[in-house]
């Protein structure tokens, strides 16, 4: 699996969940928000632990620093979302904030970071990273409560 293809596929899964949550009734929203938090946890974990450190160089450093900051903001919004019940009326406000932040971040990765990475990572390297990320993603999903780590990751951005 090519690392960039794997990450891009997860981006589309996130897009789909955002769309599903917007259409869902209030009870479903709580369930789907939990799935969203899990997917965001898996995705940010494999990017922060494997992809970002592996593609770090002078060209990408600034984009990566922005990225871990944007991940931090998404985790903070996700944490607040999980604490809320939709009927509190805050759910949609925080959901929209989370969605906007994540969509902007995903756009930067796909339009700026990934094309840059393709310039210096050959296919063999991308496939090696993809395999490592698939293994870590499976490990995170096997945890009892994958999204439970979010509140512990909201103080500082992940190290690069
Ligand atoms: Fe990211
Ligand atoms: Fe991403």
pLDDT at res. 85: 78
Give 16-66 pLDDT, tens digit per residue: 999 999 999 988 998 999 999 999 999 999 999 999 999 999 999 999 999
Cβ–Cβ < 8 Å for 117, 55: yes
State which residues have CB under 5 angstroms from ligand 1, the bound ion.
47
pLDDT at res. 95: 95
Compute the distance from residue 84 Cα to the ligand 2 centre, in Å. Answer: 25
Give 126-148 pLDDT, tens digit per residue: 999 999 999 999 999 999 999 99
The overall longest dimension of the chain from CA atoms, in Å, is: 49
* Burial label, 105 (beta-carbon count in 10 A; 0-12, 13-18, 19+): buried
Q: Return d(Cα 104, Cα 155) in angstroms, integer.
A: 21
Compute the distance from residue 127 Cα to the ligand 1 centre, in Å. Answer: 18
What average pLDDT score do residues 81-87 get?
A: 82
Structure tokens at 75: 């985790």
Cβ–Cβ < 8 Å for 4, 117: yes
Q: What is the pTM of this model?
A: 0.95
Cβ–Cβ < 8 Å for 86, 26: yes
Compute the distance from residue 8 Cα to the ligand 1 centre, in Å. Answer: 10
To the nearest whole percent, how much of the chain has pLDDT over 70? 99
SS3 letters across 38-82: HHHHHHHHHHHHHHHHHCCCCCCHHHHHHHHHHHHHHHHHHHHHH
Q: Which of 61-70, 75-84, 98-107 has the lowest mean pLDDT?
A: 75-84
pLDDT at res. 87: 73
């Amino acid at each position: 699996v090519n690392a960039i293809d794997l990450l891009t596929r997860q981006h589309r899964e996130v897009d789909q969940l955002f769309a599903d949550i917007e259409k869902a009734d209030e009870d479903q929203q709580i369930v789907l928000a939990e799935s969203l938090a899990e997917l965001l946890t898996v995705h940010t974990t494999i990017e922060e632990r494997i992809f970002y450190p592996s593609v770090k160089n002078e060209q990408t450093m600034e984009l990566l620093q922005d990225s871990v900051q944007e991940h931090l903001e998404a985790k903070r919004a996700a944490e607040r979302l999980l604490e809320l019940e939709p009927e509190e009326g805050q759910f949609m406000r925080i959901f929209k904030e989370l969605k906007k932040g994540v969509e902007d971040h995903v756009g930067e990765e796909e339009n700026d970071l990934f094309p840059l990475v393709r310039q210096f990572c050959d296919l063999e390297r991308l496939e090696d990273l993809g395999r490592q990320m698939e293994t870590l993603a499976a490990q995170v999903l096997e945890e009892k409560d994958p999204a439970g780590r979010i509140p512990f990751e909201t103080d500082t951005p992940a190290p690069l």
